[in-house]
Structures are given as C-alpha cells and as structure tokens.
Amino acid sequence: MDVQYFVELFFGGLTRGSIYALIALGYTLVYGIIELINFAHGEIYMLGAFTALLVAGVLGIMGFPAGGILVVAALAAVIWSAAYGFTLEKVAYKPLRGAPRLSPLISAIGMSIFLQNYVLLAQTSDYLPFPRLLPDMPFLDYIDNIMGPSDFLILTCSMLAMIALTIFIRYTKMGKAMRATAQNRKMALLLGINADRIISLTFIVGSALAALGGVLIASHMGQVNFGIGFLAGLKAFTAAVLGGIGSIPGAVVGGLVLGIAESFTTGYISGNYEDALAFALLILILIFRPDGILGKAKVQKV
C-alpha cells in the first residue's frame, strides 16, 4: 500500500469532513432546541459563498491585498448569512411553532427552494469563478505533498470555529441558556430564560458556521454555483444523523467520519460511489444504531 497516497486521502477526507461538520453543527443546534430539521440550512451555506464572492470582487477592484480580502469577505459572509438565518427563523418557522410537526418541515423545504431560485435569478445558473485568495504559507512547503494551503486553512479555521463554539456553549451565560432550553424548554421558561431569543441565537450561530464553511470551500474549489448548498446540506444532515442528531460532538464526529469515508471511496474505488456511500452509511447507522454514533436514546416517562 502506498503510504503517502493513504495519508493524502486521509487529510483530504479531514478537509471535506470538517466542512460537513461546520454545516452539520447548524442542523444539530436547531434540532437540539426546537426539534426541527432546517432543510434551508444548505442554502445559507451557499449564500455565504456568494456573499464572499461579491465582497471579494469589490475589494479586489479597490486594490486590497489577497489575504485581507479573504478575511473581510469571510466576515461579511458570516454576518450577512447570520442575518439571513435570523430572518428565516422569524418568517418561516416562528409562526408555525405551535403547528403540527409536518408544517414547519414543509416550510423549511419551501424556503430551501425559494433561496435557490432567488440566487439563480439574481446571479446565474453557471459556475462562477471564486478568486483564490490564500496568503503565503512558507512552512507548508515541508508537507506540500500531502496538504495544500487551502486544506490547511480549512482544517485550521474549522477546528478554531468548533473550539470557539464548544467554549461558548459550555462556559457563557447564553450558551448555558441554550443547553437548558435544549434539555427542557418549559422548565427553562419557568426559570426566566427567553426561549424566543435563544432559538433566534441558535439560528444565528448555525448560519454563521455554515457561511464560514461556504467561504472556505468556495476558496478551495475556486468556483461557486447556486446549487452547491443542496447536496452539501444533504451530506451535512447525514453527518448530523450519523454522529447523533442533537449532539454537538456527534455532528463533528459524523462529519469527519463521512468525509474520510468518501475520500477513501473516491481514492480506492471510484468517485461515482461517494454520494451513494454517504446514504448507505446513513441507512446502516439507522438500522444498527438509530441514535447515531454519540447519540443517546431518549427515555420517555409514562
């Protein structure tokens, strides 16, 4: 077995899996709070990439340096997508909070289709080139044969974002309120926690993480299209279920497992089977461990 090729596939899988994990965190945060699958979440990821593309174009015309363009474009995409996530929750989900569970699900699918077509009409159906704005990283010359600058940037930014989210959830007042609301919303309300504010915050945080993933993958691939959010959203949802929907560590583990599995499938079998593998894994997990890798079965008291 070619060890170098194996290592390349492993790090390629980590790169892909970290993007899935960033998007999956949004799914699992929302589900943990209000038990809703936000099927428009993949489109937030896509909007983040397009926002960064537009901002990068304007800054490029103004003569900004490449590294500065990437940072500013990423910040703009995160803020703009977080605003979209907040608006999405207020417009499409909050009015249906007391409705039958199928209603917000249909609303989520409707918002996904709306956002796709909104970007299609506002931009184009063609793939648009995304500028490669990576700063120089001389230290990567030592490992250039297994990891490029964009892979390193994706892994580093994803890891830092996940660590920041963990610290926020575990140690901040709002993070503790999110955990309390996820555990028992009625009791949280009795203790004075504003559940509406916590739900909105959940959408904001999840959307910001998805936007970051969109910017990183667009810079890595060098192109962006209105349809990139659909398949990425499905893969990330698969990762969230794989790791245990509602579990933050589970979303990370599920994303990395899925990314590595796809990478080795592409490398040793064929790229034609990577999408089939994602859903085959999902079916197997649902059959043999329905609660996911790190998920816990809910005990219902009668």
- Mean predicted lDDT score pLDDT of the chain: 86
Q: Residue 151 has what pLDDT?
A: 84
pLDDT tens by residue, 74-95? 999 999 999 999 999 999 999 9
What whole-number distance in Å separates Cα of residue 199 and Cα of residue 204?
9
pTM score over 0.85: yes
What CATH fold (topology level) applies to the domain 3-135+146-288? Answer: ABC transporter involved in vitamin B12 uptake, BtuC (1.10.3470)
Question: For the residues 211-226, what does the mean pLDDT come to?
Answer: 90
What whole-number distance in Å separates Cα of residue 263 and Cα of residue 5?
11
pLDDT cut 70: percent of the chain above it = 92
Q: Which amino acid is at 76?
A: A
What residue segments make up the domains of the chain, in order of their start?
3-135+146-288
pLDDT tens by residue, 144-189? 666 777 888 888 889 999 899 989 999 999 999 998 888 888 888 8
Question: Residue 227: how many CB atoms within 10 A of its CB?
Answer: 16
223: β partners: 129
Q: 């990330």: which residue's tokens? A: 236
125: phi then psi, degrees, rounded to nearest 5: -85, -10
pLDDT tens by residue, 36-89? 888 899 999 999 999 999 999 899 888 888 778 888 999 999 999 999 999 999
What whole-number distance in Å separates Cα of residue 48 and Cα of residue 151?
19
SS3 label, residue 296: coil
What whole-number distance in Å separates Cα of residue 43 and Cα of residue 228?
8
Confidence bin at 302 (pLDDT 50/70/90):
very low
128: β partners: 224
Tell me the torsion sign for CA atoms 21, 278, 211, 127: positive
Q: Residue 77 has what pLDDT?
A: 95
Confidence bin at 136 (pLDDT 50/70/90):
low
What whole-number distance in Å separates Cα of residue 83 and Cα of residue 211?
11
